[in-house]
Amino acid sequence: MFFLKELPTRQMIQGYAKQHSMEIVDSVETALLMMRQASLLVRQIEAYFSDHDTSQLRFLILIVIDREPERDSLLVSEISDRIDVSRPVMTRTLQSMVDEKLIVMKADQSDRRAKQVSLTEKGCKFLESVLPGYFDVICKFMMDLKK
């Protein structure tokens, strides 16, 4: 997250940067603006999911399992390949989602270390129920940006 409310002016960036090339000042300005806007959007998204007693990470886990063509389960390692949080965070989050009955986990047949994760009926329904609002939050934010 990037927490600075008022971004530095170009002049200020120029003052701090040792090399004063326009290109560098430009790219720093663009980067700061991108981080700030993304942070504001991420906050709105997290607030949306928090209102629905969940989190963006839980949502992403549901969606990567759901969007997999021709499969109805993924290994924990496959989910981790698609979402870059650390393994312990993945373990903990999956456990909470099992508790909430959004997913089920069962031992893999061919590799006894591995675990198959699949959506429950409840998880599927829940994903469908939060998706429209998720798009709404993003669209509304992007509309406001254009103004």
Partner DNA sequence: GGTATTTAGTTATCATGATAACTAAATTTT
Partner DNA sequence: AAAATTTAGTTATCATGATAACTAAATACC
Residues that bind DNA (CB under 7 A): 1, 55-57, 75-77, 80, 84-96, 108, 110-115
CA distances from 94 to 31, 62, 97, 105, 138 (A): 33, 10, 5, 9, 25
Q: How many of the other CB atoms lie within 10 Å of CB of 94?
A: 19
Separation between Cα atoms, residue 147 and residue 135, nearest integer Å: 19
Among DNA, a second copy, none, the one that 143 touches (CB under a kind-dependent 5 to 8 A) is a second copy
Give the closest residue to 107 by CA, choosing from 97, 96, 118: 118
Task: Determine, following the binding rule CB under 8 A, whether residue 72 of this chain makes contact with a second copy.
Answer: no
Nearer to a second copy, 17 or 114 (CB): 17
Nearer to DNA, 4 or 17 (CB): 4
Residue that is written with structure tokens 């965070």 in the block: 89
Site for a second copy in 7-36 (CB under 8 A): 8, 12, 16-18, 24, 27-28, 30-32, 34-35
Sign of CA dihedral 37, 38, 43, 48: positive
Task: Determine, following the binding rule CB under 8 A, whether residue 47 of this chain makes contact with a second copy.
Answer: no
Among 4, 47, 107, 114, binds a second copy (CB under 8 A): 4
Among a second copy, DNA, none, the one that 86 touches (CB under a kind-dependent 5 to 8 A) is DNA
